[in-house]
Amino acid sequence: MRIFVLGPAGSGKSTLVKEFSKFLKDLGHDAKCVNLDPASEPVYRADVDIRDQVRAEEVMKRYNLGINGAMLKAIDLMLEFSEELKLDSDFVLYDTPGQMEIFIYSESGPELVCRLKDAQTCGLFLIDSGMVRTPEKFVSAVLQNVVVMLRLGIPTLSVLTKSDLWDIDIKRLLSEVKSGRGILLEIMEKMAPLVEYTSMRYRTIKISSVKKLGFHELLSALREIFCACGDLS
Ligand SMILES: Nc1nc2c(ncn2[C@@H]2O[C@H](COP(=O)(O)OP(=O)(O)O)[C@@H](O)[C@H]2O)c(=O)[nH]1
Ligand SMILES: [Mg+2]
């Protein structure tokens, strides 16, 4: 299974890759880590590190770009190495850059995912729990994940990270979304069925990489995506 770990900067992607790969290995699985972030040294032992080929700081100098332009250019350059980034293993965890415009507004991000994906490829869209404490923010985060799914063409689970710091009551938030309280009442009411559908179809999981909470649930949710037996296939 190839898993793209996606989400804004600071949402906990690299820490999840580090701790979840350890968890999978401890269960006896073969798990590999690939760093696709040309701007960050991996905090885990990367089986493949794109920084051996493309480094954001060098792209900035060579093409005279600021960091945002360099990140987009770096992804273009990374396409050349896509064969080397394709690993076969029970689980391959791809750590990605937090600049979401790479995946949402550029063609290179989706193209990279397209080149690396196989029949069992999915995504984890990481959401910092501290950022989704109101129904409006929760809806906004889940809908961002829907956009990511549509852009990348892979099923993507919403994962609430740092649940050791914030315990988000997903059921309560969903019922508040449905009851349409707060601002933008009509939009929220219309969005509620979609948010509820995506939250059920692609379960929202709460985890803490620091405390290693929710990893079993995360693993079973990942397996459910490709389960051939039910309507989750
Ligand atoms: N409390 C807490 N902090 C976390 C957790 N996961 C990540 N962090 C912290 O959040 C910050 C950003 O994490 P990082 O993995 O680098 O995020 P990335 O930018 O998405 O790769 C770091 O300081 C991590 O130590 C978690 O589960 N709990
Ligand atoms: Mg990172």
- Tens-digit pLDDT profile for residues 113-153: 999 999 999 999 999 999 999 888 988 898 999 999 999 99
Span from the CA of 95 to the centroid of ligand 2 (angstroms): 7
Contact 191, 139 (CB under 8 A): yes
3-state secondary structure of 89: coil
Nearest protein CA to atom 19 of ligand 1, as residue: 10
The number of the ligand 1 atom at minimal distance from the alpha carbon of 11 is 20
Among the listed residues 3, 43, 51, the one whose alpha carbon sits nearest the alpha carbon of residue 24: 3
Residue 104: the pLDDT is: 95
Q: In the numeric block, which tokens belong to residue 134?
A: 């109101």
**Ligand 1 pocket test target in 4, 11, 15, 18 with most atoms within 8 Å of CB:** 15
145 lines ligand 1 (CB under 6 A): no
Among the listed residues 87, 91, 188, the one whose alpha carbon sits nearest the alpha carbon of residue 140: 188
Residue 182: the pLDDT is: 60
Residue 189: the pLDDT is: 76
Span from the CA of 15 to the centroid of ligand 1 (angstroms): 6
Parse the chain into domains and list their residue ranges.
Answer: 2-224
Residue 192: the pLDDT is: 77
The number of the ligand 1 atom at minimal distance from the alpha carbon of 17 is 15
Contact 142, 170 (CB under 8 A): no
73 lines ligand 1 (CB under 6 A): no
Residue 202: the pLDDT is: 66
Residue 173: the pLDDT is: 84
Render the burial of 185-218: b for 16+ CB within 10 Å, e for the rest.
Answer: eeebeebbeebeebbeebbbbbbbbeeeebbeeb
Segments of the chain with pLDDT less than 70 = 180-184, 199-202, 228-233
Residue 233: the pLDDT is: 37
Residue 230: the pLDDT is: 46
pTM: 0.94
Looking at domain 2-224, does it have CATH number 3.10.20.30? no
Span from the CA of 4 to the centroid of ligand 2 (angstroms): 12
